[in-house]
Amino acid sequence: MREDVIYSFKGLYRDAFRVKGYVFGEGEKTACIVGSLRGNEYQQVYVCSLLIKKLKELEEYGKVSKDKSIMIVPCGNPYSMNIKKRFWSIDNTDINRMFPGYEKGETTQRIAAGIFEQIKDYKYGIQFASFYMPGHFVPQVRIMKTGNENIEMAKAFGLPFVVVHNPRPFDTATLNYNWQIWDTEAFSIYTSSTEKIDKKSAKTGVNAVLNFLAKEGVIDYEITEGCVSKVIESDKFISIRTTNAGFMKPLVQAGDVVIKGQVMAYVTNPYTGEVIQTVTASTDGIIAFEYDSPIVYQNTAAFKLIPLS
């Protein structure tokens, strides 16, 4: 294992800003795995740490394929993580809205450009991503529809779902989108959490990446039993929304199967405890996303369902 500083600059009163990459094997730039780009993505860093540990072991046993190299970038934004801020410390910009970056631009554009320069030539790009709303996902691999997407390859992760996503304008500045545009086979892996470490789903994420690397011949590794992935377009998800604001008490969780009419949650008046909405399933489905915050706003997607039909 080699530890490289792939981007850095000096701070005024803080230690230098450093982005590190951990490299395994030598030769062709084959697979790059990126963890957190935001300061609250603790789970994403944790998953990378598990992968680094495992790949170090595999490398020591000579199980990284000849002429292939893997790089893991556990955290693209340690400055924000150390001050518990989601976005960039000074101007609140989002590094994952700055790709492919601009080396002569503003700070986060430069960071994105500096990271991208080091990771853009890999054959496979895998990012552990997070959603902007607090909640839990059923483990899934997401792939953006740019015309370069490789849906069949995404099944190699052995996760229950491959979600194909039509990019919106702001998605065009994400790492995943730009990796694809630069001819990297790009995938985003969603494990179930972001701000809290969930060991079980972290393990699922690690196994998914190891399975993928083994199937693509990057490592010699005994593939664990995965799922036959169901492919679904993200706009086929059915949002179950709150019609009232208040406290939400969920009765089901991500991964559960629900039937049409099943009570999924209650929204209550925070002062009186009176139930002001009974949230029910509009169709039979699997819960792909479960909102996780005590308070909900009107129109909040409390759940996202993958229809069973």
Interface positions with another protein (CB under 8 A)? 9-13, 17, 86-87, 90-92, 97, 104-110, 132-133, 168-170, 172-173, 239, 241, 244-247, 270-271, 295-301
Nearer to another protein, 8 or 280 (CB): 8
- C-alpha radius of gyration, the chain, whole number: 20
Q: State residue 97 phi and psi, 5-degree precision.
A: -125, 25
Is 108 or 127 the residue whose CB approaches another protein more closely?
108
Closest CB 180 distance from another protein, rounded Å: 14
176/229 with CB nearer another protein: 176
> Smallest gap, in angstroms, from Cβ of residue 229 to another protein?
27
- Least distance in Å: CB of 111 to another protein? 8
Report the residue number, 164 or 173, with the smaller CB distance to another protein.
Answer: 173
Q: In the chain, where do the E strands start and end?
A: 2-9, 17-25, 28-36, 68-75, 124-128, 135-137, 140-144, 161-165, 185-190, 230-233, 238-241, 246-250, 257-258, 263-268, 275-280, 285-291, 295-296, 301-307
Smallest gap from residue 80 Cβ to another protein (A): 12
Cα separations (Å) of 185 from 16, 114, 147? 32, 20, 11
Alpha-carbon span 64 to 2, nearest angstrom: 14
CB 45, min distance to another protein, A = 19
Q: How far apart are CA 54 and CA 59, in angstroms?
A: 9
| Cα–Cα dist 207/190, whole Å | 13
Nearer to another protein, 133 or 227 (CB): 133
> 32 vs 111, which CB is nearer to another protein?
111
**Cα–Cα distance, 224 to 210 (Å, whole number):** 9
Contact 114, 175 (CB under 8 A): no
Q: Kindly state the smallest distance separating residue 147's Cβ from another protein, in Å.
A: 15
| Distance, CA of 245 to CA of 269 (rounded, Å) | 8
Minimum CB separation of residue 259 from another protein in Å reads: 23
